[in-house]
């Protein structure tokens, strides 16, 4: 195997924007720093951020596809996030202070027939990833290209909302890593489960419109999974172009 890191992404507010990184320092048994550090509880949820909660408690792309077109930059020193969307003016907020301004900004992106966004909450225990453990998503570019080929059209990788993208593997090789350890840079991960996918992946991350039957394409292989969820077991730094070693 001769694989390397091609992209690193974090999502400061769950389902509300993505941000590219050149390198990141990982801590054992923690999510990628500031990934899903905040989440947006909807009006039918009692979640306050004090404990991990399932994705159904939050506003997300599966129910509100226009959210998929948000991008973001987190200024760690200032404690602010700047949000962009093709249909909204840019907004810079302190997510711990400016919840009302954020909700005003995102409200036009929410379908009227869905539970409305009610609170921007900080994840106090760990990042609000979908897995019931502090997960980091490892994605395989070859698997992505296989889905593109099956559909006969190019697809943005942002449909999958992954963290670490790897190239140099065979398509779907990552599924053989379950229960194994993989070293990336100086960090070591244990691969714990495949990532089941939802309707969020059918929305175009440039427009926020549903335009691709990604789930139907995945069923060609007898599943609706893409990528794997891993947990950091030895902390360390990873960066673009770092090598990937299966232990």
The CATH number of residue 58's host domain is 2.40.33.20
Query: Could you tell me the CA-to-CA distances from 86 to 31, 81, 90, 93 in Å, in that order?
Result: 29, 17, 9, 18
pLDDT digits (tens, 9 = 90+) for 68-105: 999 999 999 999 999 999 999 999 999 999 999 999 99
Note down the domain range covering 93: 1-247
pTM: 0.96
Query: Could you tell me the CA-to-CA distances from 246 to 145, 160, 170, 172, 189 in Å, in that order?
Result: 22, 23, 14, 15, 10
Pairing of the two strands 187-196 and 3-10: unpaired
pLDDT digits (tens, 9 = 90+) for 163-211: 999 999 999 999 999 999 999 999 999 999 999 999 999 999 999 999 9
Please write down the HEC assignment for all residues of the chain: CCEEEEEEEECCECCCCCEEECEEEECCCCCCCCCCCEEEEECCCCCCCCCCCCHHHECCCCCCHHHHHCEEEEECCCCEEEEEECCEEEEEECCCCCHHHHHHHHHHHCCCCCCCEEEEEECCCCCCCCCCCCCEEEEEHHHHHHHHHHHCCCCCHHHCCCCEEEECCCCCHHHHHCCCEEEECCEEEEEEEEEECCHHHHECCCCCCECCCHHHHHHHHCCCEEEEEEEEEECEEEECCCEEEEC
pLDDT digits (tens, 9 = 90+) for 21-72: 999 999 999 999 999 999 999 999 999 999 999 999 999 999 999 999 999 9
Percent of the chain scored above 70 by pLDDT? Answer: 100
What integer pLDDT is reported at residue 124 of this predicted model? 95
What integer pLDDT is reported at residue 76 of this predicted model? 96
- Residue from 180, 69, 197, 189 nearest 143 by CA: 197
Q: Are 77 and 62 in contact (CB under 8 A)?
A: no
- The residue behind tokens 């070591």 is 188
Q: Using CA atoms, how far apart are residues 129 and 149, in angstroms rounded to an integer?
A: 29
What integer pLDDT is reported at residue 100 of this predicted model? 97
Q: How many domains does the chain have?
A: 1
């Amino acid at each position: 195997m001769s694989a390397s890191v091609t992209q690193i992404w974090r999502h400061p507010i769950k389902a509300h924007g993505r941000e590219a990184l050149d390198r990141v320092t990982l801590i054992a048994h923690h999510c990628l720093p500031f990934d899903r550090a905040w989440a947006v509880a909807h009006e039918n949820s009692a979640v306050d951020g004090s404990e991990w909660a399932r994705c159904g408690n939050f506003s997300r792309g599966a129910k509100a596809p226009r959210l998929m077109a948000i991008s973001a930059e987190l200024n760690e020193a200032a404690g602010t996030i700047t949000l962009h969307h093709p249909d909204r003016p840019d907004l810079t907020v302190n997510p711990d202070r400016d919840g009302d301004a954020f909700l005003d900004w995102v409200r036009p992106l929410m379908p009227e027939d869905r539970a409305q966004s009610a609170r921007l909450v900080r994840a106090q225990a760990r990042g609000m990833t979908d897995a019931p453990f502090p997960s980091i998503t490892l994605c395989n570019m070859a698997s992505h290209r296989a889905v593109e080929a099956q559909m006969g059209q190019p697809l943005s990788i942002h449909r999958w909302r992954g963290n670490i993208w790897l190239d140099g593997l065979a398509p779907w090789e990552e599924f053989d890593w379950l229960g194994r350890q993989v070293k990336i840079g100086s960090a070591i991960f244990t691969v714990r489960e495949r990532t089941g996918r939802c309707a969020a992946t059918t929305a175009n991350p440039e427009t926020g419109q549903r335009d691709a039957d990604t789930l139907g394409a995945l069923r060609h292989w007898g599943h609706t999974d893409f990528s794997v969820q891993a947990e950091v077991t030895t902390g360390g730094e990873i960066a673009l172009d770092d090598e990937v070693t299966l232990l």
